[in-house]
Structure 1
Amino acid sequence: MVSNILFLAAFSLSGFRPAQSQSTPSICDNSTLLIDSLQVLEEAQECTTVAGDIVIQYASDYPATMEFPNLESVDGSFLSINFDEDISVTRLSAPKLTTVAADVYISRWVKLTTINMPVLTTINRVRLNNLPSLTSANFLATLETIENNYEVTNTSLKEIKNDKLKFAIFVEIFDNRELEKFELTALTNASYNVALRRNKPGVEVSLPALQEVFYFDLQRISSLEIPELEQVIGHFLVNESTVTTVEAPKLQSVGLWYDPSISITNNKGLVILNSGSLASLSFPALEAVQLDLLIRNNSELRDISFPMLKRVTGNIGLEGTFESVSFPELEKVGGIFSVGNDESGFSCSDLQGFKSNGTIRGDFSCPQYEELPARGSSIGESKEEIEDWLKWSGQPSQPGQPDKPNHGARLGSLRSMSAVVFSIAISVVSLVL
């Protein structure tokens, strides 16, 4: 059966372990506790600790509420990936469960409305996906420690809140048709991404403690709170949103300063698009954008000002009906500078000066917008483009040299960078599962 094969693949990801020697015949000591009937479920309900993975497969005789009343810890994963038939359970409950050593991964239970794990604090990774009826999952709020991912996809949750979780690799919140609020108030570091896409339009996003993230990708949001954000190592993207303001008062740089030992360079830069209610931008501390700065199709935006911005590795593209554009500290633009504006009275003369004094390396276009050139799609092409820009700008290509600009991305701990490498592998696995 295809489901059995995929389950075995999932086990290998959560850490395969050989069967332990059993002091008792209890199924609780199995390396894999496979639940595929009511009889096995009733035996498993006696477990306080499970030595390996709990795996739930389809059975026709499950009750509407599947409960593990005594379960306190799982030394492997808590998994159910239903591929063949829809499990009819509407409520999954483990009221005493505090620790899952590997993953909590529940997928394709189309009737499941509730996951009740009110004291669960420690896991490796959470993945909830294809649970279209899910309206309650209280453990999302109680988690204190996650080593890897926090992923919620295709549910009917209205709120996702947590005030304890400080670190995650992936934070991915996709396709939640009823979602209104997303708040991770203790999160300080997301070493791969924070991404919200295709959720209900108008999600309120609050990340008041976030200081560093690799990729920051937000769509369909109505508000954004990021008062402590200092570094976005990859890109910063806001798209198709109803926000009235985007403020990042401490953000210093967007984009990874090029290092030949780090191949992750293919990002978008700072991009704010298609947000018709956006009236103001505030990036008072931003000094550097690696790759592109692109602001387009924000019809209410009247003023664009980056008071401390010195360098843009790639291109600058601005298009709209804004009345003023200000870059008082701009020193280097590695690509083109394109401004599209048909607002009467708008003047291009001050911006033209950047081309005249050599600040802009490429073409300058104003007030007619010129599409930004496509970037290289391969790592080799990206490396060549960035090295070429560095040579032109007179900056070193090796981080750590004395004259390296102090606005280069601060990578944080070794934990963050090793997590990025791990996250790439997880991304590939996610495509398979």
Structure 2
Amino acid sequence: MLSKILFLTVVGLSSLHPARSQSTPSVCDNSTILIDSRRALTAAQECTTVAGDIVIQYASDFPATIEFPNLELVDGNFLSIDFDEDIRVTRLSAPKLTTVAADVYISRWVNLTTINMPVLTTINRVRLNNLPSLTSANFLSTLETIENNYEVTNTSLKEIRNDKLSYAVFVEIFDNKALEKFELTALKNSSYNVALRRNKPGVEVSLPALKEVFYFEFQRISSLEIPELERAIGHFVVNDSTVETLEAPKLRDVGGWYDPSISITNNKGLLIQNSRSLKSISFPVLEAVQSDLVIRNNSELQDISFPMLRRIAGNVGLEGTFESVRFPKLDRVGGVFSLGNDENGFNCADLREFKNNGTIRGDFSCPQYQEPPTGGSSQGEPKEEIEDRLNRTSSGTGFESFGSFNAFVFAIFASAVLSVL
């Protein structure tokens, strides 16, 4: 059923004309070349340019290698549908392919080990999904231009590297059981998210050029390089990781975008938790967290210091065995401030002064931890006051650097469509 929905969604906008054993020009000019047999494959292999989509559908007589030796340009999608577990294909190759105008979507080839597209540079979106035997996909490194998404899910790739790609809407790397390194060294901007989840524990992550991102979420990582990151407009999350140091030397704002009709990024702002090897954090120029600040269950972390942090629109939740907690510039917490510390003799006096002088607008608890509220914007500061303040302070932290608000609307729409597919 899933594959049929995909077929209708991606291909159904054009008339579907099955590949026929005619002259090469007729096949290549079809709005869709449906490859569902060895015979159809043989006809398509003569094409240099395809006017529409290439759709590969399961066929029992496919060879072990599906190759398009002459193909250079696809003016539509390059995708697969209706693949069964007994598909024998182990290799997909298009050695001359440089451009796919729409999407490259390869899914459910359980025996596929290799995708060979060594000169592919330009596509709209890449989705590699449910390819548990895949160990090589060289085009992930050659891509220079993507209009939308860079997604790799459930493969056996050990490394994902690219030093040419500067922009993507989504970067989602999920459920890759063998992944050890993830490097997008040219990526400067992701207008929706950069996220790694449920991959092999201990992934090394390098994003040395990244300046702006909407949602930033990392799980099961052992290192994170983000020396240029300045804004995480939605949230910044590191969870369930073995990273020992976490540094964001240029990060100034987290949660700079705010919609008063919903909760502030669902109470995610700056969230660092469940990372038991974490010994130090450094956010030396961070000035504003426009939602919640939560640091919990990082048993080796002894010191928390945000030397330039002034405003937290939501709640603060800190829990651990800290020796010191310092916010020397803090002048506003819109919600509650809760710190739980099991160390005997921890001094809460300096933090309590924030409550006494009105910096903390909600409840204060220290050293006993009380769970901050979830949902809604915050507790203690009226939504209208938060909204007014954020309108005044959000200049330069919103969408202008991403081109337009329409880009974000498109990203949300794309996310909804992908969830259906």
- TM-score band (shorter)? over 0.9
Distance verdict in 2 for CA 1:260–1:274, change over 3 Å: closer
Q: Distance in 2 between matches of 1:386 and 1:366?
A: 17
TM-score (norm 2): 0.93
Q: 1:89-104 maps to which residues of 2 (within 5 A)? A: 89-104=89-104
- What amino acid does structure 2 have at the position aligned with 1:287? E
Q: Any unmatched runs of 5+ in structure 2?
A: none
- What amino acid does structure 2 have at the position aligned with 1:182? F
- What amino acid does structure 2 have at the position aligned with 1:335? G
2:412 counterpart residue number: 424
Q: Deviations over 1:153-185 (max 9, x none)?
A: 000000000000000000000000000000000
- 8 Å Cα contact 1:192-1:419 kept in structure 2: no
TM-score (norm 1): 0.91
Q: 1:225-264 maps to which residues of 2 (within 5 A)? A: 225-258=225-258
- 8 Å Cα contact 1:258-1:386 kept in structure 2: no
In the TM superposition, residue 345 of structure 1 has moved relative to its aligned partner by 3.1
3-state SS in 1 of match to 2:155: coil
Q: Distance in 2 between matches of 1:5 and 1:215?
A: 28
1:388 aligns with 2:399: no
Q: Distance in 2 between matches of 1:50 and 1:346?
A: 69
Q: 1:97-246 maps to which residues of 2 (within 5 A)? A: 97-246=97-246
3-state SS in 1 of match to 2:126: strand
In the TM superposition, residue 422 of structure 1 has moved relative to its aligned partner by 1.2
Distance verdict in 2 for CA 1:5–1:328, change over 3 Å: closer
- 8 Å Cα contact 1:64-1:89 kept in structure 2: yes
- 8 Å Cα contact 2:85-2:109 kept in structure 1: no
Q: Distance in 2 between matches of 1:52 and 1:252?
A: 45
1:411 counterpart residue number: 399
Q: Distance in 2 between matches of 1:250 and 1:138?
A: 32
- 8 Å Cα contact 1:253-1:407 kept in structure 2: no
In the TM superposition, residue 81 of structure 1 has moved relative to its aligned partner by 2.8
Q: Distance in 1 between matches of 2:360 and 2:264?
A: 25
Q: Distance in 2 between matches of 1:369 and 1:3?
A: 48
3-state SS in 1 of match to 2:95: coil
Distance verdict in 2 for CA 1:388–1:147, change over 3 Å: same
- The answer to which of 78-87 and 37-46 deviates more is 78-87
- What amino acid does structure 1 have at the position aligned with 2:230? E
In the TM superposition, residue 429 of structure 1 has moved relative to its aligned partner by 1.6
Q: Distance in 2 between matches of 1:37 and 1:205?
A: 41
- 8 Å Cα contact 1:37-1:62 kept in structure 2: yes
Q: Distance in 2 between matches of 1:247 and 1:53?
A: 45
- 8 Å Cα contact 1:234-1:267 kept in structure 2: no
1:9 counterpart residue number: 9
3-state SS in 2 of match to 1:192: strand
Q: CA RMSD in A?
A: 2.4
In the TM superposition, residue 397 of structure 1 has moved relative to its aligned partner by 5.5
- 8 Å Cα contact 2:16-2:32 kept in structure 1: no
3-state SS in 1 of match to 2:362: coil
2:42 counterpart residue number: 42
- What amino acid does structure 2 have at the position aligned with 1:427? S
- 8 Å Cα contact 2:267-2:314 kept in structure 1: no
Q: Deviations over 1:287-328 (max 9, x none)?
A: 100110000000000000000001101100000011000000
In the TM superposition, residue 16 of structure 1 has moved relative to its aligned partner by 4.2
- What amino acid does structure 2 have at the position aligned with 1:431? S
In the TM superposition, residue 420 of structure 1 has moved relative to its aligned partner by 1.8
- 8 Å Cα contact 1:78-1:100 kept in structure 2: yes
- What amino acid does structure 1 have at the position aligned with 2:382? D
- 8 Å Cα contact 2:340-2:369 kept in structure 1: yes
- 8 Å Cα contact 2:149-2:170 kept in structure 1: yes
Q: Any unmatched runs of 5+ in structure 1?
A: 377-381
- 8 Å Cα contact 2:94-2:117 kept in structure 1: yes
- 8 Å Cα contact 1:310-1:330 kept in structure 2: yes
- What amino acid does structure 1 have at the position aligned with 2:301? L
Distance verdict in 2 for CA 1:50–1:160, change over 3 Å: same
1:359 counterpart residue number: 359
Q: Distance in 1 between matches of 2:372 and 2:359?
A: 17
Q: Distance in 1 between matches of 2:240 and 2:229?
A: 22
In the TM superposition, residue 256 of structure 1 has moved relative to its aligned partner by 2.8
Q: Distance in 1 between matches of 2:34 and 2:299?
A: 56
- 8 Å Cα contact 1:191-1:417 kept in structure 2: no
Q: Distance in 1 between matches of 2:275 and 2:28?
A: 53
- What amino acid does structure 2 have at the position aligned with 1:299? S
- What amino acid does structure 2 have at the position aligned with 1:167? Y
- 8 Å Cα contact 2:85-2:110 kept in structure 1: no
Among all aligned residue pairs of Structure 1 and Structure 2, give the percentage whose two residues are the same amino acid.
74
3-state SS in 1 of match to 2:61: coil
1:65 aligns with 2:65: yes
1:52 counterpart residue number: 52
Distance verdict in 2 for CA 1:226–1:386, change over 3 Å: farther
Distance verdict in 2 for CA 1:249–1:137, change over 3 Å: same
2:305 counterpart residue number: 305
Q: Deviations over 1:316-375 (max 9, x none)?
A: 000001100000000000111000001123211110100010000111101000001111
Q: 1:260-271 maps to which residues of 2 (within 5 A)? A: 265-266=265-266, 268-271=268-271
- 8 Å Cα contact 1:313-1:389 kept in structure 2: no
In the TM superposition, residue 213 of structure 1 has moved relative to its aligned partner by 0.3
